[in-house]
Each structure stands twice: as structure tokens, then as C-alpha cells.
Chains A and B, each alone.
Chain A
Amino acid sequence: MTPPRSPVKFLLYGALSLSGILAWAGHFGLAYGVQHLVCQSALIPANLWHVILAAATGLFIACIGLVFWNIRSRNVFRDPDGDVSQFYTYVTLTLLAVSLFGILLTAIAGFMIPVCGSLR
């Protein structure tokens, strides 16, 4: 019988498998937050907006790529139970892909629509 373990591994697995979705959340929050600051207060000048958005999008996509590559190439979810590690890998990679789509959509919005103004 394996001795009881602390939940550290559980937390690591959890965070890693949700990394794609967390990246989406981070990108979304950053884009929306920066845009809010650009429009509501003069804290961030409007001409920096596209630079920030491009940088953030690039950064998050790079992160996703890194995680994707890591999980793909090395067996990160090393586990005696093959089913579990296969499941984790599949879920993580698919979530990364779906999140990538979400990030791209946000970026498209940011580049297509002027940063402030209600356009009405």
C-alpha cells in the first residue's frame, strides 16, 4: 500500500493541466484591464495600446507553445498509472489548443476595433 501523500502533486497537476485556460484568463484580464485604464484614466497613453496588446499576445502564445512542447516532448505527467497520465496529457493539450483560439479571438478584437469610443 502506498503511504498517504501530501496534496502537492495534486496541486501541481491541477495547475499544469489548466495552464492553457489560465493563460487565456490572464490574457483576457490583461487586455480588458489595460483597455479600461487607457480609456478611463490617462494612466496608460492610447498610442501604447497596440504595442501592449501585441506584446501580451505574443508572450502568452509563446508560453502556451512552451508548455505544449514540454508536455508533448517529455512525459511531464509521469505516473505509474498509464491511464491517468494519458488522460492528463490529452486534457492539457486540448485545453491549450482551445485557449489559444480564445486568445487569438481576443487579439483580433483588439486589432480590429479602436481602443476607446463606443462607435455609436
Chain B
Amino acid sequence: MTDKDRQTISPVPRPAGEEEDLLRIWATPKGWRLPTAVNNTVIGLLYLGAAFLFFVLAGILALIMRTQLAVPGNDFVNQDLYNQLFTMHGTTMMFLFAVPAMEALGVLLLPQMLAARDLPFPRLSAFAVWAYIVGGSVFFLTIFFDLAPQGGWFMYPPLTLTEFQPGDNADFWLLGIGFIEISAIAGAIEIIVGVFRTRPPGMSLDKLPIFGWAMLIFAGMIMVAFPAVILATMLLEIERAFDWPFFTAELGGDPLLWQHLFWFFGHPEVYIIFLPAAGLVSMIVPTIARKPLVGYNLIVVAIAATGFFSFGLWVHHMFTTGIPALSLAFFSAASMAVAIPSGIQFFSWIATFAASNRKIQFTTPSLFVLGMLAIFLIGGLTGVMVAMVPFNWQAHDTYFIVAHMHYVLVGGMVFPLFAGFYYWVPILAKRQLSERLGRWAFWLMFIGFNVAFLPMHFTGLLGMPRRVWTYSEAMGWGPLNLVSTLGAFTIAAGVLVFIVDLARNFRVGEGGKDNPFGAGTLEFLPQDVYSTRSIPHVSSRYPLWDDPDLPRAVAAGEHYLPNAPTGGRETLITSPIHARPQYVIQMPGPSWSHVLAAVFTAAFFLLLTVKLVTPALICGALAILSCLVWVWGIDKGPDKGPIDIGGGLHLPVYVTGPMAHGWWAMIVLMIVAGSLFFAYLFSYLYLWTVSPDAWHAGRPYLPGALRPFLSALLLISSAGMIWGARHRLKIPGHRSLVSAGFILLAALFAGTGLGLEFQGHWGQGLRPQSSSYAAMVYLGIILSAQIMLAILIMCFYCIARILAGKLDRIRVASLENTSLLLYYLVGQALLGLLLIHGFPRIMGPLA
């Protein structure tokens, strides 16, 4: 960018007091109000800190297990505790550490990389974090009360049904998962809208930092993968609580349905964890080499391809279930295909190192990156091995898999995370971490890791299965296990050194005053609570390398939005492809409402788990109330005119329709709901193929054809009603009671339509406990009913806003979101009617 261009953005010097305004508006709440904070740096650090705490805790569990396994016939812990330990270790590492840590990085770094003031929905991420912290802590505490689940982190039924796990233990697992489901989906919304809409002007998609691409695909994968596990956990909890036979073979269910759903989530989960970490590496390697990433486009291809191919792998966790060899072969083939994108990234990093003109410095971040390359390479190669069906039959469920999986996850995620932490500390903290301690931490972890896990490949091939708490001396696994245990404690020593480093040197504060590694991306611009002073115009992938003067210019306020023209928190929304400025959003600040909503949501699930239904319902109602309070003040409407952001641009502060960021968030939510329904369709058809008899026996219970038509008619009219409500709204200042009436009718019609459908089956005497067919019929209704509940609340919310004069023809966001969800519901319910009433009728004659 030339000097001439820059002057056209915002005139300097800036008026006095602007920076003070920004500091005041974006100030982090102090003292006991700290929990109300929503700044992405505060929330992100909290998120990362909690995730790291769970990493340490789950690591301690691993040490206890390693101690038990150090020698044959040990009795350091008993069978019952050991079974809880490995379940908690896996669950905590996967759900309470890995995914949240990656989300945390997204929350923490994305806005800084995009030079946005904050995430588009700051309270949403804060809500997710608090729900996760409260719920995760309670979940973890169960280990101290002998209440921890002991079904393994994969929780296969029938072992996890009440018959074999009668206590609340398994329910606590379902609870722990519930929180991560909530926070993951909230994070996905945040990240997708953030990456597409809050980029700085000029940062078209081809200039997006690789980490942004990784987080985008990460969020996209969450949208598709998590609904599968949401459905699976729903099925399991319903079967545990109410005996609906989804997994009970005698009544037409199938234990394999759980495995399909769980691994349809579980395998992509591994890539959900790996992709952002690989994104980190792609950010750090160019900085180490001081050269642009070689093959940026190819890496984007690799990330996208990984995201998709990873959904074709799930059965490779099921190679030993006895399903046809060809099914295995398909998934074996997809497992081959997914190796290619990893190869691309690997060679891209090698090429970038090779392109460097300088001698590569082995700083702590570089060491962790190189450690990652070595470890992940081995993990990838053993991954190809276990993708081979015959080899898998031997290696599956042995310590070979334990070794492989840790090489992939520790190499693919933990080492990059440490690299990333050392690399980005300068923008989070007042001072750097110690290089000396960092090296100690690295070498201890690296050597310890290989000592612990390399021998496990052999332990597994020598016949040691996973999840065994003891083994006899005659098996000959003793020496290898002892070596592994020593390695595990060496890793722990490395982590301890890191903690010491944190304690001695890590002081949270606004950093970013310098750029110690000489990075080229925007997060190393000068920062304060408001992020960067002004939002730069970007014209390359490494703006800081192209324009050494950029930090000064940005800090001087020479770029976009150097002030707070609306007097509150705000950031710039740009177009999704080219990042052209579109409008400015006014963002909510600190508040207790979302914190309370999170706490009550957590309390709701916890109380349900221990079967205190009444207090749970009260907490649920309070959670909804808190949410309503939270959103009531957000939709400020076009209360400020077009504002000047610099560069001759005058942008609106309020838009609705497809351009609005809220509309985008709603679409993401609908895709999530759609994935959930898709998982339901899959389950329905899957169980039909497994036990067509149950469908045949259920055929006489199908209500007459008139009833579904009536339901459909009601649903369609409900959509018409809400459309009418939208069009009968009046201009600002006038309240449209007609619209309010239409909204009420819409809710009534949709609710009646669903009620009619339920009553039809119930009236015929079909009971969900009787067969898998019946259970699936009612599950379909439940899936629509829960959306209906949300719509009902939203409808009353809209009516209240009309009556309060806060909903009119212009300020229409709440009604718009309600109608979007209602349209979606109508679509889903119609599809459901077609399936439930049509499918048995078509299949009846064939059978």
C-alpha cells in the first residue's frame, strides 16, 4: 500500500480523547464483575486455561494408570477405579481438553488475526465457556465420588445401558458430552460468521490466514459431526431413562447403531482437533522461515479435502464388527484418500523451511513444531497401517492403537498447541516465557513421549489389549510397560516445567507492543483491550512484511474505524468473499445475563442427571429467562444513522435479511438442526434394514392417511401465518396487533400440527417401548417438538417486543430469526411426515 492510499482512509492526527473513549468502552470489568467480561482475549484465555487444567488433570489420571501397569499383577488401583480412570482420561482429553482448547484458540486468535474488535457474538462465546467450565468441573469431580462413568470414552451399549450400568455413572458421561455439544456448536456459529464476515477490508478469501481456513473447516465439521453424537447421546439417554429400545437387539434395535453414529462423529473429531493445530503450524512455519507458506492454495485444498474425507472413515473403527468385507474396503479406501491431504501439508512445511534464506533458529516454538513433525509423521504412517483391514484385525483394540492414537493426537494437537502458546504469548502477556525452561519442557516432553509410546506399538503386537487393568507376568509385557511408565513420568516432568514457566513468567496483560518473531500476520499489530486501534486495509497474506510501517499507522488510527462512532462496542462487517465493508455492528458488552444463563443451563443438566426433576425444570426456566434478558437489549435497531468509518465510507449500523450477521448465524444453526435430522433419517433407515420385522409389525398401528395431511396443512398454514405477520408489521413507532395475532396463530398451528401427529400414533396404541420402529416414530416427533419449544418461546418474545414497540417493519431481526426457524421446522416436520407415514406404506407391499 502506498502512502497516498493510506491517507485516504482516516485523516491523522486523530482528535484527542478517541483512544480514551475506546479504552473506556472496551475496558475489562474488574473485581467481582470479572465473570461478566466478554472480550475475546479474556474469554479466550479463560477457555484455554480451563482446557489446560483439564489436560493436566486427565494427564494425572494417565499417570495413575501407567503406575498401575508398570509391573505385572500390580494392585496400586483396583479394577473398578481403573475402569473409571481410562474412561475419564479419554473423555476428558477428547471432550474437555482437545475440542475446547481448539475452540479457545479460535476465540482468542481469530479476531486478532482478522483485526476485528471482537467476535460477532461475544456473549455467546462467554456463555459457552461458562457452561463448559461449570459442567466440565462437576463432571470431572465424579471421579472423587466413585460416580465416574466406566463404559470407556466410546460408551458402547449394551454395556452402558441401565442393565449393565445401573447407577448414575453413565449419565454423568452423557452430561459431560452435553456441555461440549453446546459449547462446540456455539463456537462453530461464532467462528463461521466471524471468518466470513468480520475480516478486515481487502482480505479476500485467498488472503485469509491458514489458521482462519482451518477454523472455518473445523467449524463446518462441527456442524455436521456433532449432531450425530447429539443424536447418539439422546438415544442412549432415552433408552437408559425410558427403555426405548434403540440398541436392544431383542426389540429390533442394534448396538451397532451407536457405533455408526458415535464414530460418524468420532472420527471427524480427530480431524476437528488436528486441523486447527495444523493451521497453527502453517502460521508458525512461515514466521520461522521468514518466507511465505509454499503452496498456500494447496494447503487450503488439503484442509477442505481432509474435512470431507474424514466423514468417510468412521467405519474404520468398526473393522472387527463382522460387517461385509466390501464395506470395510470402502472405508479402507477413504482412509487412504485422507492420507494425501496430510502429505500435502507436510511437504508444504518442508518446502517453506527449505525456502528460507536464513539459518533456522531453534526457538521453543520451532522446537515444538519440529517435534510435532516427527511425532505426527510416525502417527500418520501407523495410521496407514491400521487403515489396512487385515492388519487392523490384529492391531485393533490393542496397545498398538493406543500408541498410534497418541502419536496422532499428541503430535497433531498437543505439540502444536504448545508451539502456538509459546509463539503467541507476546500478544497475550506482558513478557515472554523463558526460552531455557521452554527448551527443557520440550525435550522432556519429546523424549518422554517417544519413550512412553514407541514401545507400545510392540506391546500391542505382542498381544496386550487396551483397557485392561492388569496382566500376568507370563505374558512378557512387563519390561515394555515399565519403559512406557518411565516415559509417561518424563512427559509429566516436561509439563511440570511448563507450569513452572507459566507461574514464573506468565503475566496476563495487553501485549503486542512488539513482534519478537517477526511474524507477518495481523495478530502481531499493536493491541489493547479494543484490539487494534484502527482496522487496516489488507492487500496481501503477510501485511506486516509488505508494509513495515503498518503497525505504526494502525496504532496511529490511520485506517478504518479508529474511534467508536456509536459510543459503544462495534466492529466492521465485510462481505464474505472480497471483504468489502458492508456495515458496522453494535455489539453487547459485559453482562450477568449470559453468565446466569450458562450456570442455570449447567444446573439444569446436572439436576436432571441426578434425577431431581423439579429443581431441574426450575433451573431450565431460569436459564430461558436469562437468555431472554440477555437478548432483549441486543437488537438496538437503526438508532444511529450511517456512520463514517474512514476511507469515505458511510455505513449503516443495522441491516436485516441475508446480509445481516444474525441471519448467517441462524442459517448455521439450521444446518446443525438439519444434520441432526439427517442423522435421524440415517438411524431410521438403518434400523429398518437391520430389523424389517419391527417395521412390519408396526404397520397396523399407522394412523389413516387423512391425519398426516391435516398435520401438513396446519404446518404449512403456520408458515403462512408467520409470513403474514412479517408483512403486516407497521412503520417504527406503531404497534401492529394484527402481526402479534398472526404470530400467535403461527405457533398454535405448528404446535397443533405436531400434536396431531403424536396423538395419531398414541391413539392407535403404539408405545415407544414396544419396538425400535415405535421408538423411531416417537423420536422423530421429539426432534420436531424441541424446535417447536424454542419457536414457542421466540414467538412470545416477538409478541412482547411488538407490544413494547421494539419490533417494527425496520427493526425486524427477532421476527426474522423466528420465521427462519419456523420455516425450517415446517420443512423438517413435512419430511418427517413423509417418512413416518410414507415409508412403511411403500415398504409394506414390497416386504
Residues of A within 8 A of B (CB): 1-2, 4-7, 9-10, 13, 18, 21, 24-25, 28, 31-32, 35-37, 39-41, 43, 81, 83-84, 86-88, 90-91, 94-95, 98-99, 101-102, 105-106, 108-110, 112-120
Contact = CB atoms under 8 A, between A and B. Distances in A.
A84 B575 contact: no
B297 A90 contact: yes
Contacts of A86: 206
A94 to B, nearest CB: 4
Given A1-B649, A90-B297, A98 B326 contact: no
Contacts of B333: 102, 105-106, 108-109
25 contacts: A1-B580, A1-B581, A4-B583, A6-B657, A6-B658, A6-B659, A7-B659, A10-B196, A18-B304, A18-B308, A21-B305, A25-B308, A25-B311, A28-B330, A32-B327, A35-B326, A35-B327, A81-B578, A95-B305, A102-B309, A102-B312, A102-B337, A106-B330, A113-B329, A118-B324
B681 to A, nearest CB: 12
A9 B578 CA distance: 11
Contacts of B204: 81, 83-84
A14 to B, nearest CB: 9
A2 B575 CA distance: 10
Given A2-B580, A113-B326, 20 more contacts: A1-B581, A4-B655, A5-B575, A7-B664, A25-B311, A28-B334, A41-B689, A84-B204, A87-B297, A91-B301, A94-B301, A101-B337, A102-B337, A106-B334, A109-B326, A113-B329, A114-B325, A118-B322, A118-B324, A120-B325
Given A105-B336, A109-B326, A24 B308 contact: yes
Contacts of A37: 689
A22 to B, nearest CB: 8
B205 interface: yes
Contacts of B301: 90-91, 94-95, 98
Nearest to A96: B301
B847 to A, nearest CB: 9
B658 A94 contact: no
B340 interface: yes
Interface string B284-308: 0000000000000110110011001
Contacts of A115: 324, 326
B582 interface: yes
A101 B340 contact: yes
Interface in B554-591: 575-578, 580-583
A114 B308 CA distance: 27
Given A18-B304, A40-B690, A91-B297, A84 B578 contact: yes
B803 interface: no
A44 B606 CA distance: 47
A34 B323 CA distance: 14
Nearest to A109: B329
B846 to A, nearest CB: 7
Max chain B Cβ within 10 angstroms of own Cβ: one of A35, A37, A118: A118
B814 interface: no
B736 to A, nearest CB: 26
Contacts of A101: 337, 340
Contacts of B664: 7
A78 B658 CA distance: 22
A67 to B, nearest CB: 15
A110 B326 contact: yes
Contact of B340 (A5, A18, A98, A110): A98
Contacts of A105: 333-334, 336-337
B205 A84 contact: yes
Max chain A Cβ within 10 angstroms of own Cβ: one of B300, B329, B341, B690: B329
A41 B300 CA distance: 41
A43 B575 CA distance: 48
Contacts of A87: 205-206, 297, 300
Contact of A112 (B312, B329, B581, B583): B329
A18 B308 CA distance: 10
Contacts of A13: 577
Nearest to A49: B326
A10 B204 CA distance: 12
Contacts of B648: 1
Size class of B's contact patch?
35 or more
Max chain A Cβ within 10 angstroms of own Cβ: one of B298, B327, B576, B649: B327
Contacts of A99: 305
B674 interface: no
Contacts of B329: 109-110, 112-113
B282 interface: no
A106 B329 CA distance: 8
B206 A116 contact: no
Nearest to A29: B312
A37 B206 CA distance: 43
A39 B575 CA distance: 49
B41 interface: no
B91 interface: no
B317 to A, nearest CB: 15
B92 interface: no
A106 B206 CA distance: 31
Interface string B652-667: 0001011100001000
A92 B620 CA distance: 46
A44 to B, nearest CB: 11
A39 B582 contact: no
A98 B583 CA distance: 38
A71 B776 CA distance: 44
B332 interface: yes
Interface string B414-457: 00000000000000000000000000000000000000000000
B720 interface: no
A112 B329 CA distance: 9
Given A98-B341, A110-B330, A35 B324 contact: yes
B509 interface: no
Contacts of B583: 4
B325 A4 contact: no
Contacts of B463: none
* Cβ-closest 9 pairs across A and B: A87-B206, A109-B329, A105-B333, A40-B689, A119-B325, A102-B337, A21-B308, A113-B326, A94-B301
A90 B299 CA distance: 11
A81 B205 CA distance: 11
Nearest to B574: A4
Max chain B Cβ within 10 angstroms of own Cβ: one of A7, A84, A105, A108: A7
B692 interface: yes
A10 B576 contact: yes
A117 B300 CA distance: 39
Contacts of A114: 325-326
A83 to B, nearest CB: 5
A115 B297 CA distance: 38
Contacts of B312: 24-25, 28, 102
B322 A120 contact: yes
A101 B340 CA distance: 10
Contacts of B327: 32, 35-36
Nearest to A98: B305
Nearest to A32: B330
Contacts of A31: 330
A24 to B, nearest CB: 7
Given A106-B330, A114-B326, A21 B304 contact: yes
Contact of B332 (A28, A88, A109): A109
A120 B748 CA distance: 57
Contacts of B196: 10
A113 B325 contact: yes
Interface in B668-722: 689-690, 692
B192 to A, nearest CB: 12
A31 B315 CA distance: 14
A29 B690 CA distance: 18
Contacts of A116: 324, 326
Max chain A Cβ within 10 angstroms of own Cβ: one of B308, B582, B689: B308
Contacts of A25: 308, 311-312
